[in-house]
Amino acid sequence: MPIGLPSSSNPFLGFWFSVTIPNVTTLAFAEAALSDISVSTTNYREGTDDLGVRTLSGLVSYGNVTLSKGLTSSLELYQWVNSVGDRGGANVRRNISIALTDGKKTLANWNLIDAMPVGYQTSAMNAANTEVVIETLVLSIGRMERTV
């Protein structure tokens, strides 16, 4: 393929994305850091294996997802985090979608299954600068699926 022509192997730009959280309307996030995926392994050697071991896959685990946005008067994210402690974690898990777009169509989509808030933070406030205060939400997830 000649240089400069678009192809399906061109990397996507990461600045057009949307986050959908059921029952939350404030979704203008500035940053989304997706989870890492790791698979535990076990080395196994059968009695008939002369020189080596086999690696067997174990449990799949997912790291946390971090979402950041400018702080507004909305309390929806803050109240969602607090509801975890209020209800002992019951009925606080949600299935979240993060869609990467080119401004018109979805290029990639990640479904975060059983997401639950496990952290919340606001950035420092400083009278010497004019930076936007950022609120950050940290989510634990049960599973992540990529589609598209």
Residue 49 domain-assigned? no
Nearest-angstrom CA–CA distance, 40 and 61? 8
Note the pLDDT tens digit of each residue in 54-89: 899 999 999 999 999 999 998 999 999 998 987 666
CA distance 135 to 140: 17
For the entire predicted model, the pTM comes to 0.82
> By residue range, what is the domain housing residue 77?
17-38+58-147
- What six digits make up the tokens of 10? 């061109």
In this predicted structure, the answer to whether residue 2 has a pLDDT above a threshold of 80 is no
Closest Cα to residue 110, out of 13, 5, 33?
33
CATH number (domain holding residue 103): 2.30.110.20
Decide if 120 is inside a domain.
yes
Cα(28)–Cα(70) distance, rounded to whole angstroms? 8
Is there a contact between 94 and 23 (Cβ–Cβ < 8 Å)? yes
Tally of domains in the chain: 1
Is position 130 within any domain?
yes
